Amino acid sequence: MENKLKLYGFNNLTKSLSFNIYDVCYARTPKAQLEYIAYVDEQYNSARITDIMTHLTEMIGAKVLSMSRQDYDPQGASATFLIADDEMVPLGNGTEYVAHLDKSHVTVHTYPEYHPDTSIATFRVDIDVATCGKITPLTALDYLIGSFDSDIITMDYRVRGFTRDLKGEKVFIDHDITSIQDYIDSATLLKYDAVDINVYQANMFHTKMLIKELDLQNYLFNAKVEDLSPERRREIETALKREMVEIFSGRNVYGNGTVTD
């Protein structure tokens, strides 16, 4: 947000970020699969994701006006924030406040799941941030990526609406952007293969990222890599990579891909 425009009235641009991550894991037995679901449900319960989103709002310069959160049975959690992009200003005796209340929000939902036949478990997090005004959720991307074990990341960013400058000319975007990757640290980008699909004329940007290196031990739930034969390691690595490629591609590329004992 380098270039500061002189505007006529309030900045009416709406900047929306849809941020999705997937964490893939190998849980060999039905017992391990259920334990994995319980583990991620505890690690990313509604209290934890509320803390993450609270810090996100601070990073982008927004103020939390109200918040609700919920844990679900059998699994998953959600949190919703109503936010303002300006300070709430006290009026009169200080008991009443004025702020832009109704056009900025943050929502997050988690989806732990496992495939009953392949021993592959996948944890998905969906985060949507919509801001209205001068702030943009893109500034928090590195924090979001680092807050989760992100094997696959898909992001959509769109600037909608218009505002006006002092001459009355419409302004459809108020910051420079050629790619969502512009807002991600270069050290983070080195860890991923990244692809852009952008529609510049409509101020729409899409980026998806796939982790490059796979350290098998990091993907085994309650198991040790040294207890597996070389052949078994290769089978599991292949199944994990296939799962990641299909999620990254958004389609079934390999079919079932069952890993059997």
- Please give the structure tokens belonging to residue 53: 């989103």
Cβ contact 126:109 at 8 Å? yes
DSSP 165: B
Which of the following is catalytic: 25, 46, 105, 109?
Answer: 109
In Å, what is the CA distance from 152 to each residue of 103, 109, 129, 148, 246?
29, 16, 19, 11, 10
- In whole angstroms, what is the distance from residue 65 CA to residue 54 CA? 11
In this structure, are residues 18 and 108 in contact, taking their beta carbons and an 8 Å threshold? no
Task: Give the bridge partners for 90, in sequence order.
Answer: 97
Backbone phi, psi, residue 110, to 5°? -115, 150
> Which one is catalytic: 16, 46, 104, 147?
104
CB atoms within 10 A of CB 154: 19
Report the helix count and the strand count for the chain, using DSSP H and E: 5, 12
Does the annotation count 109 as an active-site position? yes
Active site residue 104: yes
The catalytic position among 16, 119, 132, 147 is 132
* Catalytic site positions: 104, 109, 132
